[in-house]
Structure 1
């Protein structure tokens, strides 16, 4: 074969494997693709690498999301008010804080991913500890939202009954907030090293325990929302403790060298990067949280909130598939940019987008086929079930779009574009999508269908803008910026063997 057509060395072989991680720095950048045969070969190679990460990442995302989803499903069998209270607290109060914690933790996807790709393993543990300091401090401030949840929900127009029930439940859920603060930096630390399988096993074990004890406390012992709070808090902390035990036991090698005072150095600069990541991601998480909030202003609010929460629950489950792919492509792009492999980073994005689109299409078809059967799993109220059936076609379309959009966001995080994407999100979501949704929902009197349709249009616009940004990206320049970013945050020069 010609030089440009040479088959690249396999990802994991006895000669280039170190531990169980995917070290992209062990192979050169992909050669230029000049035909269908080249494309097919590289697509297969990249698909294997991507699914090595995406498979367990998707399972981990699904398992952790299912903790709240299982609780919501059981709350629907406790009572309509209980379901509405849990949905509002989980979507508005916990959803707000979840977005903030996950967003700030996502700064590590850029830093840890690129440092790992460059071989600067000793910085990963320091980055995680800095993130712990920042996120725990942020959690202390966010506790005020939980304490004053009841008056906040009343002030934004929720009914008195829903506000009071959700306000009490929010106070019980404060321990979950601090579990978020610990969990997200740990996950980004492990993801950057491709140690995702251990996260999947821990999440699976906790989900089994969570399901059993939720049924026991909420329904069998009739503890209701008190039982939901006890089990949900315990489950999140079990995940944190399981991951910490794994890290402290030594499998991460140089990436974890123990606690260090370096975690308190350059905190303000780290805060700025974390805030940029938080704003970008929060604007996405809060966007769909706003759907539940706006539904609370409609006539027959409890039924509207319950129906929309069922759809959001299902959307969330399918979105976890995309978020798993988001994590995988973020790791792949940041690792490859850190290793100075711009063509591989670009091709990894293409493979991820195609794969996510096909998955979203399959999930949507399944949902359409069983649209008259699945609503009864979430609620015994016939009105709620009828509205869910009516919303299913829109839900299916939303699943397809939202399976592609998180992948593009994952590339943005992997490449360090958080600030730019934050501005894109403000314009597309809040200056366009929300006003259009409110007009269709209230002025045109389309109710939940109108609100969701308008806001979905904002998501489509944002996806188009991100696609254009990716298309116009100079990936060679991004690789150079990744090297500069590693040096700025405490790493050394990339080894000469990486710069091949």
Structure 2
């Protein structure tokens, strides 16, 4: 059989069968061979006299409609395979990240438990120390953690793009730039945390709790730079798809925090301040544990080189001549400052909600509102870790695709991230509605608080959907370098719509704490709708060019 007859037969067989992903390369070669070996005609081609086919110039007819169907089928199969691969990768990465964030919630809870269950000699002292510990935690979260973690969100954008583009030495540049910037941030943050008592008194908090909170916060201060350093390294490893080190670090940190806290609170003269010292020790343990596990770990889903080779590339990129220039610092801050604003707008908004609970008319109603709000806020925060982990996973997958110039994968990654967020919110809504009673009894045995919290959880269940969508879409914004847009929309959602509406519903209209949560839900529904519209209309090729421009490399041209 002649070569042309053989090729035609192969193409006819391809048209009549379902093609798997492994056949794509072969079919592409066949198609290229066919195009090269014929003279173009609208309906067919005449074989050359000397191309090895029959010498009488036989006509090889094509079936344009069949070829179009085949092309559509191949395109559909390719998109389906890509969708499956991206969905699997996103979920595989999300599970350990979610686990890590859940583990990182535990130290704050353990701190409160250690203070609350210690023998202070009287109920009044126990309440005083509990209030002081809660105030100190709140102040450190708002001033130190939201600031530092927000600035370092620039690493999410930059590292994922660098991994996608296989520019691993760039991660060393970003590491050195980030360390220098966060050191300067800590210099400011440390002064603010050191003056916690003065700041709380300025905000008209009760004198004794504010004064004791200042002491508690100062014991927590030495652990903050270690948290920052751990956060930087974690963002680098998770960009590679390497999650074992951060899970191990979170587990060890919890063991250190709980063990040291129990000993210091109950068997030393530190008493309740031992809980703060233990929190610092737990924070200090994070980085060395992570580095040790990282040294012995070779697993890295998104990276094609070993950990040791990757580390060499990172170290080679840590040059002051490139990392400490105005251009490098400006690039980092242009992403980090809006990222900080995104985080702070959200965290501060819910502290304002807690404060508004205290001015609900009626002393008893205000006390019940404060207690029930604390219960449902903790439940919602626990569920939020699921959305946050999914957001980070989507951030990594999308950022990697943008950095590699894979526009199609980037588009699919953004859709998968949003779809997972929506699905998880519906699951969590079902959990809340099914186990309202059980969830509330985990926090208190007071029947009035339980009943109030149960009714409040109905609103919190509705809140899950926009909260999840907003969380994962912030991850999409971070991956594509659009933190500034996310910060602006967060400000509008929380401070232009959410909080004013929450106040109106809760106080003038008498809806109480339920009105506060309903107002915040409306605000988040607004931002979720706008974010979804923006993301669905995104030009991913342009965003990929922007990502690669941040790495100073060009996007391959379309063929």
Q: Retained in 1: the 8 A contact 2:170–2:551? A: no
Match of 2:21, SS state, is: coil
Match of 1:256, SS state, is: helix
Q: Per-residue CA shift, 1:128-175, capped at 9, x if unaligned? A: 121111112111101232222223223334334443343332222212
Q: Distance in 1 between matches of 2:337 and 2:129?
A: 34
Show the counterpart of 2:352. Answer: 290
Shift in Å at residue 56 of structure 1? 1.2
Q: Distance in 1 between matches of 2:271 and 2:387?
A: 32
Q: Retained in 1: the 8 A contact 2:398–2:479? A: yes
Show the counterpart of 1:62. Answer: 102
Show the counterpart of 1:256. Answer: 314
Q: 1:273 to 1:36 in 2, by over 3 A?
A: closer
- Correspondent of 1:101 among 148, 162, 167: 148
Q: How does 1:85-100 map to 2 (within 5 A)?
A: 85-100=132-147
Match of 1:119, SS state, is: coil
Show the counterpart of 1:374. Answer: 439
Show the counterpart of 1:53. Answer: 93
Show the counterpart of 1:463. Answer: 528
Q: Distance in 1 between matches of 2:251 and 2:419?
A: 28
Q: Per-residue CA shift, 1:341-360, capped at 9, x if unaligned? A: 11211211222222222222
Q: Kindly indicate whether residue 35 of structure 2 is the aligned counterpart of residue 7 of structure 1.
A: no
Q: Kindly indicate whether residue 330 of structure 2 is the aligned counterpart of residue 265 of structure 1.
A: no
Q: 1:475 to 1:230 in 2, by over 3 A?
A: same
Q: Distance in 1 between matches of 2:425 and 2:113?
A: 23
Match of 1:91, SS state, is: helix
Q: Distance in 1 between matches of 2:107 and 2:500?
A: 33
Match of 1:444, SS state, is: coil
Match of 1:443, SS state, is: coil
Shift in Å at residue 103 of structure 1? 1.0
- Give the TM-score normalised by structure 1: 0.85
Match of 1:173, SS state, is: helix
Task: Give the greater-gyration-radius structure (CA).
Answer: 2
Match of 2:538, SS state, is: coil
Q: Retained in 1: the 8 A contact 2:90–2:393? A: yes
Q: 1:437 to 1:285 in 2, by over 3 A?
A: same
- Correspondent of 1:151 among 198, 203, 209: 198
Show the counterpart of 1:444. Answer: 509
Q: Kindly indicate whether residue 333 of structure 2 is the aligned counterpart of residue 276 of structure 1.
A: no
Q: How does 1:232-243 map to 2 (within 5 A)?
A: 232-243=279-290
Q: Distance in 2 between matches of 1:82 and 1:381?
A: 21
Q: 1:32 to 1:150 in 2, by over 3 A?
A: farther
Shift in Å at residue 446 of structure 1? 2.9
Q: Kindly indicate whether residue 338 of structure 2 is the aligned counterpart of residue 338 of structure 1.
A: no
Q: 1:381 to 1:116 in 2, by over 3 A?
A: same
Q: 1:493 to 1:40 in 2, by over 3 A?
A: closer
Q: Retained in 1: the 8 A contact 2:132–2:209? A: yes
Q: Retained in 2: the 8 A contact 1:63–1:203? A: yes
Show the counterpart of 1:388. Answer: 453
Q: Per-residue CA shift, 1:100-120, capped at 9, x if unaligned? A: 111110101111111211111
Q: Kindly indicate whether residue 171 of structure 2 is the aligned counterpart of residue 124 of structure 1.
A: yes
Q: Which moved more, 1:412-421 or 1:402-411?
A: 402-411
Q: Kindly indicate whether residue 202 of structure 2 is the aligned counterpart of residue 142 of structure 1.
A: no
Shift in Å at residue 297 of structure 1? 4.0
Q: Kindly indicate whether residue 550 of structure 2 is the aligned counterpart of residue 485 of structure 1.
A: yes
Q: Distance in 1 between matches of 2:258 and 2:528?
A: 35
Indicate the RMSD between aligned Cα atoms, in angstroms: 3.2
Q: Distance in 2 between matches of 1:312 and 1:376?
A: 14
Q: Distance in 2 between matches of 1:57 and 1:329?
A: 11
The higher-RCO structure (CA 8 Å, 6+ apart) is: 1
Show the counterpart of 1:167. Answer: 214
Q: Which moved more, 1:179-188 or 1:252-261?
A: 252-261
Match of 2:190, SS state, is: helix
Q: Distance in 1 between matches of 2:147 and 2:315?
A: 28
Q: Per-residue CA shift, 1:203-231, capped at 9, x if unaligned? A: 12322343344445456879664122112
Q: 1:238 to 1:297 in 2, by over 3 A?
A: farther
Shift in Å at residue 327 of structure 1? 0.9
Q: Which moved more, 1:276-285 or 1:76-85?
A: 76-85
Q: Retained in 1: the 8 A contact 2:164–2:404? A: yes
The alignment covers a number of residue pairs equal to 474
Q: Distance in 2 between matches of 1:175 and 1:499?
A: 52
Match of 1:445, SS state, is: coil
Q: Distance in 2 between matches of 1:336 and 1:103?
A: 23
- Correspondent of 2:429 among 345, 357, 364: 364
Q: Retained in 2: the 8 A contact 1:176–1:236? A: yes
Q: Distance in 1 between matches of 2:20 and 2:549?
A: 31
Q: 1:312 to 1:223 in 2, by over 3 A?
A: farther
Q: 1:240 to 1:284 in 2, by over 3 A?
A: same
Contiguous gaps of at least 5 residues in structure 1: 11-30
Q: Distance in 1 between matches of 2:538 and 2:547?
A: 14
Show the counterpart of 2:251. Answer: 204
Match of 1:328, SS state, is: helix
Q: Retained in 2: the 8 A contact 1:69–1:313? A: no
Q: Distance in 2 between matches of 1:8 and 1:233?
A: 53
Q: Retained in 2: the 8 A contact 1:92–1:290? A: no
